[in-house]
Structure 1
Amino acid sequence: MASFAQNSDGLKKLSVGSCMFGAKAMNAVLEHCTSLEELSVKRLRGITTRRTGSAPAKTPSTLKSICLKEILNGQCFGPLIVSSKNLKTLKLIRCLGDWDRVWKCLEMETGV
């Protein structure tokens, strides 16, 4: 996935489903796909709640839409959600995990 990401700088939309990508692969996409506007991740099985490598290395400033569907430990995407300053659409569908910390961070960021 890292090789794909390094050669996909102009990629605007990425949708993956039922994959075994881990945090390193997702971080490679976020770091190298600097034009990414839409990210859709469904049934991703490689993300865990472990701290190592769970936070995105760099969030594309162009990211406007995130859709997470049926992801175990979906709150691992919390740092990505919170750091996406131009996010317009967020869909969380049947994502398990403790989201309280993510919502607190969002409240602090937005002042709500």
Structure 2
Amino acid sequence: MTHRFGELWSVQLGDREEIRLVVTGDFYHTLYNDNVLTAHVEAADLAHALTAFVVDVGEGRAAMIDRISTVAATRLKGKVGDLSEGQLAAVRGMLSTIFPVSG
């Protein structure tokens, strides 16, 4: 299954599906499985109330960039959208602020 940074995916979590924003460009490898780092997506008003690190993803939803979790790649069920170039730049900026990487 191919997924890229900035795509929205439906993710199967137990008996429910959630929409998540992919924030890794490729697989995030562990010793156990291939995983993907995703940002939680909530109702836009709730997301904006909880954090400043938010990008609107449409349909009244927003991704909270500081709420990232690991999801097994097999749980990604279907791509449901893409971010625009402007939104991608905003997400990259938020990620670099929250998770500074020296290089």
TM bracket (short chain): under 0.3
Relative to the length of structure 1, the TM-score reads 0.26
Q: Which has the higher contact order (CA 8 A, sep 6+)?
A: 2
